[in-house]
Structure 1
């Protein structure tokens, strides 16, 4: 069999995307979803593997900017997406060939990082991606759980607005939140459509998308996008509030939005699909055991240009450490690197000095956003301390005051 790997042509998009759907179970997406992804696809960053006239493998990348520890300017990253191989062509090296081509292209473009969300977490570790963020799911029993809200919550006014009409206000709040937490994507034009995507066929009995704005002195300081799913039992209503997306600029606005969600009439629970693991509502509820918390992987991070990536973030405490890094898939990263950094910035360069820590690029990606400690990875045998004290020093420096979090997929 002879296959050809090449850049996607715009005229081939329908077939290319259709083959991606085949790889993911052959269930066609709703027309609204398909139209949005067609509009967002960067064809020049998308590739396919072709067997004759049939596309048998797909992969793409979005040009994103990602918030990193230190709160500075978001860092350019490649958002790896739409990766699939049709069932007839599995285990023939097609995925590896696409990952190889893609990371070479990312390196050539000067992007220090590649990031992705995985349909199956087991797939991408062999290509150097480490799990850098977690996301929390919950189902809050609002019949039994009460919220204690901070002073000033009653000063926040709430207003229901059509989601499309509120989009600009919601995006303005979101943009102000991006520098505050590592792992968030600065949304480019066109991406404001993603939170509003609401095909009727995906609602599973729930209402159309709704929006509430939180305002103080005429300024929007918070929002929530949500739906409600009515349900009744002999004892009365038992509906569910499904939170899609929310953000708030201060504790009072945050509490006002959460109190609203927890007190919607005819509902008895709030279902949360993706929130940061340190989300503050956990400190407001009266009984966290009634909230059915669950955590899963979020953003996977891959250092493509190691020194540029380590220099792009700041460090929570001063650090001067030599890292012995193994990277079989991107060998230009393999070797010893001296990282000197502090809260103001960092310098990273090759060195012949003795190594203080030894690890693979996968573990470095996991620790990059500050949500996974190097000490924890060392306890699992994935990081080796070669100089006493280096592990504690580096673990503190790489940490983040808030948990990194990816608010939405791509």
Structure 2
């Protein structure tokens, strides 16, 4: 078999995307989502594999900036739309696309690559580590009560058409991005992803609804949600499906959560993709009846170890020599001296003896501060070569705020 890996041409997009859809089961995408995916595609950063005139592999890379510990916004390639035709499995196509992508990303000067995985076991062999989790919940609002802080009643709520207040909601989101590692600075066009509302997106629930929180003339928060009407022996048992909720302060967030808890004719609130340390968990009367579940989300790959580790700050002072293993991107292999604190960092090549030995996958997992180097060490995935170095590094890499990916890509 002879295959050709090359950059996608605009005239090839439909065939390229159809291969992706087929690889994920073949169910057609809603027309509005397909059109948006096409509009957001960066053709010069998208590749495909062709077998003759047939597309048999796809992969893309969005241009993103991601918040890292310390608040800096760092360039990151958002790996997306990865697929291999079922007829061409076990022929090295995925590996060839990963190879091409990481070489390209290095050439673009972007220190990080990030992705969400349909199957988490796929990308570890290419150096990606699971760096963030998301929290899903199914809250029994007929039995769980919410305690709200002072000031909640000063927040005014009003319904608004989602498209009409999209700019105001995006302004709230943009103000929050620097405060949490893992958040993406949304590029123009990406805001449309938040208000897709075809029948396929509704899945039997209501059209997308939006409520904004205001204080004076300022929008300080918003929630987007749907309501699914359900009935039981006792009457209405509707379900609130929260899509997105953001607020600039606790009172704004509490007002929006209380609104969702109190919706008439409903008894369940389902949330997905929320930060694992979100404050509402400390306001509920019974956390057990919130049925919490964790799921991996963002996988991080350091493309340039030195530049990536210098781009973030460190919770406590660190001065460690890292022996990095990276067979897939050998330019990262070797010893790096990382010196950093809450004000900044440097990471340079060194010949000094190593304090810790780990692969680039573990660095990716720990990079945003959500995975402890100490826990990776306990699992045997980080080796301590100087006593005390693991605790020192683990504390330094930690983040006071849990990293979170607000939406997929």
* Cα displacement string for residues 369-397 of structure 1 (whole angstroms, at most 9, x for unaligned residues): 00001000000000010001111110010
Q: Distance in 2 between matches of 1:34 and 1:204?
A: 17
Q: Distance in 1 between matches of 2:302 and 2:71?
A: 19
Structure 1 runs (4+) deviating above 6 angstroms are none
Q: Tell me the equivalent position of 2:86.
A: 87
* Cα displacement string for residues 20-68 of structure 1 (whole angstroms, at most 9, x for unaligned residues): 1111111110110100000000000000000000000000000000000
Answering whether residue 172 of structure 2 is matched by residue 177 of structure 1, we say no
Q: Tell me the equivalent position of 1:104.
A: 103
Shift of 1:304: 0.1
Q: Tell me the equivalent position of 1:54.
A: 54
Answering whether residue 198 of structure 2 is matched by residue 220 of structure 1, we say no
* Cα displacement string for residues 154-204 of structure 1 (whole angstroms, at most 9, x for unaligned residues): 000001000000100110000011011000000000001011112212322
* Cα displacement string for residues 101-129 of structure 1 (whole angstroms, at most 9, x for unaligned residues): 00000000000000000000000000000
Q: Tell me the equivalent position of 1:4.
A: 4
Q: Distance in 1 between matches of 2:366 and 2:198?
A: 37
Q: Distance in 1 between matches of 2:302 and 2:335?
A: 15
Q: In structure 2, the residue corresponding to 1:164 is in which secondary structure?
A: coil
Q: Distance in 2 between matches of 1:57 and 1:201?
A: 26
Aligned residues: 409
Q: In structure 1, the residue corresponding to 2:165 is in which secondary structure?
A: helix
Uncovered stretches (5+) of structure 1, i.e. residues with no partner: none
Write out aligned runs for 1:2-81 (5 A): 2-72=2-72, 74-81=73-80
**TM-score, reference length from structure 2:** 0.99
Q: In structure 2, the residue corresponding to 1:151 is in which secondary structure?
A: coil
Q: Tell me the equivalent position of 1:240.
A: 239
Write out aligned runs for 1:10-409 (5 A): 10-72=10-72, 74-409=73-408
Q: In structure 2, the residue corresponding to 1:336 is in which secondary structure?
A: strand
* Cα displacement string for residues 274-297 of structure 1 (whole angstroms, at most 9, x for unaligned residues): 101111110000000000100010
Uncovered stretches (5+) of structure 2, i.e. residues with no partner: none
Aligned alpha-carbon RMSD (Å) = 0.6
* Cα displacement string for residues 245-266 of structure 1 (whole angstroms, at most 9, x for unaligned residues): 1100001001001000111111
Q: Distance in 2 between matches of 1:86 and 1:321?
A: 44
**TM-score, reference length from structure 1:** 0.99
Shift of 1:273: 1.1
Shift of 1:218: 1.4
Q: Distance in 2 between matches of 1:234 and 1:295?
A: 32
Q: Distance in 2 between matches of 1:203 and 1:211?
A: 14
